Each structure stands twice: as structure tokens, then as C-alpha cells.
Structure 1
Amino acid sequence: MFFLFLFGTLVLKETWAGSHSKSYFVTIMSSPELQEPRKVVVGYVDAQQIEYFDSHSANQRVEPRAQWMHKMGQDYWQGQTRIARAETQNYRVGLETLRNYYNQSKGGVHVFQTLIGCEISSDGSFKRGILQHAYDGLDYISLDMETYTWTAAVPVALITKRKWESDGKFLKRGKAYLEEECVQWLHKHLEDGKDSLLRTDPPSARVSRHSGPDGEVSLRCRAQGFYPAEISLTWLRDGEEQLQDTEFIETRPGGDGTFQKWAAVAMAPGQEDRYSCRVQHEALAQPLSLRWEPEASSLWVIVGVTAGVLVLVTAVVAGAVILRRRNSGGKGGAYVPAADKDSAQGSDVSLTVTA
């Protein structure tokens, strides 16, 4: 059975800009190279990693992954470690059970994954919860948060659905964690890590033009360096939104604690001046409105050509100096150009699974 051991402390609700979430990603994998399946748990608040556990690590302890998480006392870390270790064996049993459901041999690589978490609104109240399981890269079973019943994604999962729904206490505990305990822990994390989690960094944005092999033209609006992750990029033609003709990439981490995103729109050549990109983010006092500026592109070409000429002139001068010194007998040594310098206490949720 999938059990949730519920721990938590009451935290008063506060008001924060935007929504926030707390989630755990659990993965257990078996393979012929492993003596026993390896389980990894990663905890997040919003997009910031806060906890990590690896059953194959030397100390097998839950470790903080954010500096502000060190504010949690030893009771918290000991409790999280105790839960994570206990769950490891149960996840291994669950993985073996699923292998038997699918009539699979012991060889090969098999992966069971769990995602559990909650999201709160800006007033601190519960907004939604999530509890999903996947096996070998495909959805297996998930909890319907409207009806609190299990949804089987594949026929085999009906076996698990009947088992889990036969235990009314199990669903009651799950509801209590997602709507109450998870929210309370999220409140505490937002308070402890507010300097990092509640900051706002405005995006820097630019528009670039791209030509395809068949003569097609597209404009790309790219925003980067922003936090939190919620952002809106909208292409407009003559002031009207162009949602159907716009291609987006999902918001992704920028590698420095901020995020990046772009949106592209295709058009006929010569229509570029009709398009503008609107960028909206909570760190901006007002939305940005950007257009492709061909003059700016020409300027960069000029700068590039000028830089190339300067490099060529420098190389010629350096060569002349070296040649002159060699002709004078090598006195004074060789010319070496300088290097380029730009070159709360207790424990959180327990995730124990036996399918």
C-alpha cells in the first residue's frame, strides 16, 4: 500500500505574490548492474531544489540543497532520513510487484516514479494537489483531486486502483497531507527562504530575426534572467494577438537561479514591422513592448567587422614587432600577447509504495 506518514507544524497564513508549490520527485530503478534497486528523492519549493536523498550514497541521509534549509533543526533531518530509509525497501517491493503485474523477467532496466505535491494561491490557501505514478516512462495511476478517486492510465493499474480505493483511511490520509500538511510546510519554507524564494528579478528581452532555407522569415522574442518562473510572451500583429501562429518553448532554468523563455512567430518577408512582442512579468512595473530593429542588427554587424579589422591590425603589428626583433638578433625576447580576460521541526511526507 502507498502510505503517507503525516508530520507538520501549524504556520499562520501570509500573503505572497503569485502561486507557490512544494513537490517531491521519487525515482527507483532496477538494472542488472545494480545489486538492489536505487532510490532517489528530490524535494523542491517552486523550481528550487531543497532536499536530496540517494539510497546508494555512503551515509544514506536526506541532505539540504538550499542554504536556507539549514534553518531546519536536526529533528527534521533525522525524521526525513528515517522516513526515506524506511520507504526504500517498500519502493523496492512495489517495483517488484509491478514487474510481476507486467509478467516481466528480472533482467532489464525498470523504473517506478512518483510525483507528489501541493500548490498555494497568493493568499496562502490551498490551490491544488498532485499525486501521480509512472512505470517504465509511462503514466500508471494518478489521484483525481476533484473526486479523490484513483485514475488508472493502463489496464494493469486497475489492480492497484482496487487495492488503494478499498482502504478509506488511505485516501483520507492522502487528502490531509495534500491539502493541509503540505501547505503548512510550504508556508514555513517560504518564510525561511523568503530572501531567495520571494525575490523578483525582471527579465531582459530582445527580438531577433531568422530566415529559413525556403525564404520564410520568423521573429523570436527571448526573455531571460527572470524570477519567478511565471512569465507571458505574446506576439501581436498590428496590435492583435497572434496565438495560433506563435511557437513557444516551455520556461526553463537558466542555470543561475533564474529562468528563460522564447516565443517565435512566422511571417512573410517584409512584414516584420507589423509585429511586436509583449513581455509581462511581476517584476516589471509595466509590460515591455519590443520590435525587431534592423538598425540594431546592422550595428552589431558593423561592430563585428570593426572588431575583425582591429584583430587583423593587431596581428600585423605583432608580426612586425617579432620580425624586427628577430632581425636585430632577438634581443629583448619574444612578443607574447596578453590573454583575453573575458576568455521547523519534525518530518515531512513519507512516500511508501507497494502496488
Structure 2
Amino acid sequence: MALALRLLLLGAVALQGGRSRLHSRRVLDMVVSEPGLELPWFSRVVYVDDQVTYVYTSGTKRAEPYTVWMAQNEGPEFWELMTWWGQRFQKWYNTSLNTLSQLYNQSEGFHIIQTKYGCDLREDNVIQGFYQDSYDGRDFLTFDKETMTWVAADIGAQITKRRWDAEVNDNQQWKRYVEGNCISWLRNALEFGKETLQRKVHPTARVSDRSSHDGLTTLSCKVSGFYPRDITVTWLRNGESRQQETYSEGILPSGDGTYQTCVTMEIDPKIKAHYSCHVEHESLLEPLSVSWEPHNNLIPVVAGVITAVVLMGVIIGVVVWKKKRPGKKGDGYAVAQAHDQGSSGSDVSAKGK
């Protein structure tokens, strides 16, 4: 492989940035041996953090901006350079597919290579690079930054590993690539898209509970509306973290440019303890804590008794009121009938006289 191509493929597994905010530039390459209508033969998608900045495919044969702020700020020279790299990799992957199919003694059919590489930049200016690839959904090679050597995932990858390990000069230039083009492109994108990429949105947290099996109770802490994506959510019992006892559904997009997550934990409600949901996010000056208040079982009973008493009082009042009401149609007719009979009797008596 040519030196220039190898420089973009070298890297190391990305490191977690602790509480310092991590910004990343990621290049995701995919090539398939049998393309379809919606699956191009080769595609490259470049991310800065969670935003797609540009896309190159074998169909368009050009690198095209995917955000307004990239289109408005990068000039023709940048897009020509990205197009050139895309076309070079497209040719290289074509050769790689043939090489790997022979290496694994495979016949013609559907095969896929996926590669992810790039650089990370933390707010404390620590820089890291990363690289990982796979063939037909299985790990193939990764790069060990400590030993400056490649790590093969299986016997088939050993051949490529030995060849690439021998190219010591190429591997040493990884540091210059990370501190040069990759970080430069990342910094530019962070400035161009700072209103999106560098914004901070506070999370909101809500706790709830539901009955579970064997008399247990499941506590849920839903945290939503936060950006950036990285967040720490834990349940505390009497102020101590219960991380090993919790389950998380992962961090998911909310659909409005922010993220959400939910963390649950099962407890025995008979054991008296104070439970709270603890949230740490870079938008918060101090951690957010939301306590869970257990339901008092007497409340629904007392509420039911009060409701029954009030209802009984209403019924009794209505009955008494109806008995005392003089304007009922039936009662008025009876009184009038009695009065008519009395008048008739008086008339008869008068005639008798």
C-alpha cells in the first residue's frame, strides 16, 4: 500500500476522555462486492462528533458536504482533496476485496470490508488516534499504539499483520498524521459548527416506580434533553453508588438534536433506604440528584374512606331534601284532588238543604 494511503489507515483504539469533553473526527469506510440499488459499491461517511460532515460514494465519485456550515466554510480546494482521497481509497478497497477473498479461499459472492479511523481531541488538549476494521462482520486488524504494531484478530489476518509491521517508517508517521491533518480538520469543523457541536444543553431527570416480580419494585430514572451525548447516570442507595445493580437502555437520540437515557434498578421495598438518581453532565455546574419517594400504602385507603363518607353524606342529604320539597308533581295533584272532593260534598249538602 502506498505511504500516503497507509498514513490515513494507521491509528489506535480510542480512549475514554473521563470527564473532559471529547471531540472526534471519524471516517467510516464501507465496500461491498455486490452493490445494490441502495447500497453503493464504496461509501465514505465522515463524522465530527455526532454530525455527518461529508459523504463520498462510488456513485457520485465526489465528496459532498452534508451540513450547511461545512458547505459555507470549506473552499473548493478542500472538496477536491477529499474527492481525491475518496477515489484513491475506492481503488485500494477494490484490490483488498480480491486479496481477502483469496486469503480466506472464498468464492464469488457478497463480501464486505468496514473500516473506522480518525482522531480524538479532549478539552485538556490530549490527542489520540484510533483504527479498527472488519471483514464480513468479523474483526480483522487493530493498531496497538503502545508497541506501534498491528494486532491480528485471526490466522488469516496474520499475513497482513506481518507485512504492515515491517513498514516501521509508515507506522511511526501516525503521530504526525494525528497532530497534522486529522486534528487540523477536526479543529476547523468544531469552529465552523460550534453552534451545534459545542453547545451545552442541561438534562432533566424524572424518577418513577412500578411493581416487579416476587414483590420487588423497579425504580426508573429517565434523563432527557441533554447535549452533548456523554453522560453518567447512577442510582444511589443511602448515598452510595449501586452501579453494578443497575440496567441502562443506552443513550438514544431524542429526535430534536438532544439525547435521552433510562436507568433502572430493582429494590426490595421492605428494606428501608433512601434512593436517589445521580446525574453528571458537563452542562451542569454540580451533579443533579432526584430522590425517589416511596408510596404510602395508607394513602389510598384513607382516600377511599373519605370518599365513601362524603358520598354517603350527599346521598342522605338528597333524600332528606326530596322529602321536604313541596313542589313535587305527584303531591300537588293529590292535594288538589282532595280539595275538589270537599267542594263537591259542600255542593251536595247545599242542595240537600
The TM tier, using the shorter chain, reads: 0.7 to 0.9
Secondary structure of residue in 1 paired with 2:221: strand
For residue 84 of structure 2, what is the aligned residue in structure 1? 82
- Provide closer, same or farther for how the CA distance between residues 89 and 209 of structure 1 changes in structure 2, counting only shifts above 3 A: same
For residue 25 of structure 1, what is the aligned residue in structure 2? 28
The answer to whether the aligner puts 1:191 opposite 2:212 as a matched pair is no
- 1-side partners of 2:145 and 2:122: how far apart? 16
Higher helix share: 2
Secondary structure of residue in 2 paired with 1:244: helix
- Provide closer, same or farther for how the CA distance between residues 101 and 260 of structure 1 changes in structure 2, counting only shifts above 3 A: same
- 1-side partners of 2:290 and 2:272: how far apart? 12
Equivalent pair of 2:24/2:120 in contact (CA under 8 Å): yes
- 1-side partners of 2:2 and 2:255: how far apart? 35
Question: Higher relative contact order at CA 8 Å, sep ≥6: structure 1 or structure 2?
Answer: 1
- 2-side partners of 1:210 and 1:40: how far apart? 46
Secondary structure of residue in 1 paired with 2:181: helix
Unaligned runs of 5+ in 2: 9-19, 300-353
- 1-side partners of 2:96 and 2:103: how far apart? 10
**1:47 Cα deviation from its structure 2 partner:** 1.4
| Greater C-alpha Rg | 2
For residue 247 of structure 1, what is the aligned residue in structure 2? 247
**1:33 Cα deviation from its structure 2 partner:** 5.5
Matches within 5 A, 1:212-223: 212-223=212-223
- 1-side partners of 2:56 and 2:35: how far apart? 22
Matches within 5 A, 1:1-355: 1=1, 3-5=3-5, 18-31=21-34, 38-56=41-59, 59-70=60-71, 71-107=73-109, 109-126=110-127, 128-270=128-270, 274-293=274-293
Equivalent pair of 1:273/1:291 in contact (CA under 8 Å): no
One-letter amino acid of the structure 1 residue matched with residue 184 of structure 2: Q
Equivalent pair of 1:272/1:292 in contact (CA under 8 Å): no
Secondary structure of residue in 2 paired with 1:210: strand
**1:62 Cα deviation from its structure 2 partner:** 1.2
**1:273 Cα deviation from its structure 2 partner:** 6.2
- Provide closer, same or farther for how the CA distance between residues 32 and 234 of structure 1 changes in structure 2, counting only shifts above 3 A: closer
Deviation digits for residues 279-314 of structure 1 (CA, Å, limit 9, x no counterpart) = 11111232211133567xx9xxxxxxxxxxxxxxxx
Unaligned runs of 5+ in 1: 8-16, 299-355
- Provide closer, same or farther for how the CA distance between residues 37 and 121 of structure 1 changes in structure 2, counting only shifts above 3 A: closer
> How many residues in Structure 1 have an aligned counterpart in Structure 2?
282
**1:270 Cα deviation from its structure 2 partner:** 4.5
For residue 341 of structure 1, what is the aligned residue in structure 2? none
Deviation digits for residues 243-279 of structure 1 (CA, Å, limit 9, x no counterpart) = 1111123323223221122211111135586211011
Equivalent pair of 1:217/1:268 in contact (CA under 8 Å): yes
For residue 344 of structure 1, what is the aligned residue in structure 2? none
- 2-side partners of 1:112 and 1:176: how far apart? 26
- 1-side partners of 2:250 and 2:174: how far apart? 30
Equivalent pair of 2:206/2:221 in contact (CA under 8 Å): yes
Equivalent pair of 1:4/1:173 in contact (CA under 8 Å): no
Equivalent pair of 1:19/1:122 in contact (CA under 8 Å): yes
- Provide closer, same or farther for how the CA distance between residues 203 and 188 of structure 1 changes in structure 2, counting only shifts above 3 A: same
Secondary structure of residue in 2 paired with 1:257: coil
- 1-side partners of 2:272 and 2:118: how far apart? 44
One-letter amino acid of the structure 2 residue matched with residue 48 of structure 1: Q
- 2-side partners of 1:41 and 1:84: how far apart? 7
Secondary structure of residue in 2 paired with 1:119: strand
- 1-side partners of 2:117 and 2:3: how far apart? 12
- 1-side partners of 2:282 and 2:58: how far apart? 40
One-letter amino acid of the structure 2 residue matched with residue 63 of structure 1: E
Deviation digits for residues 88-112 of structure 1 (CA, Å, limit 9, x no counterpart) = 12111101211111111102x2111
- Provide closer, same or farther for how the CA distance between residues 89 and 217 of structure 1 changes in structure 2, counting only shifts above 3 A: same
- 1-side partners of 2:286 and 2:108: how far apart? 59
One-letter amino acid of the structure 1 residue matched with residue 83 of structure 2: T
**1:180 Cα deviation from its structure 2 partner:** 3.1
**1:2 Cα deviation from its structure 2 partner:** 6.6
One-letter amino acid of the structure 2 residue matched with residue 24 of structure 1: V
Equivalent pair of 2:234/2:242 in contact (CA under 8 Å): yes
Equivalent pair of 1:51/1:65 in contact (CA under 8 Å): yes
- Provide closer, same or farther for how the CA distance between residues 162 and 290 of structure 1 changes in structure 2, counting only shifts above 3 A: same
Secondary structure of residue in 1 paired with 2:244: coil
- 2-side partners of 1:179 and 1:212: how far apart? 52
One-letter amino acid of the structure 1 residue matched with residue 88 of structure 2: A
**1:52 Cα deviation from its structure 2 partner:** 1.2
Secondary structure of residue in 1 paired with 2:97: helix
- Provide closer, same or farther for how the CA distance between residues 250 and 2 of structure 1 changes in structure 2, counting only shifts above 3 A: farther
- 1-side partners of 2:4 and 2:254: how far apart? 34
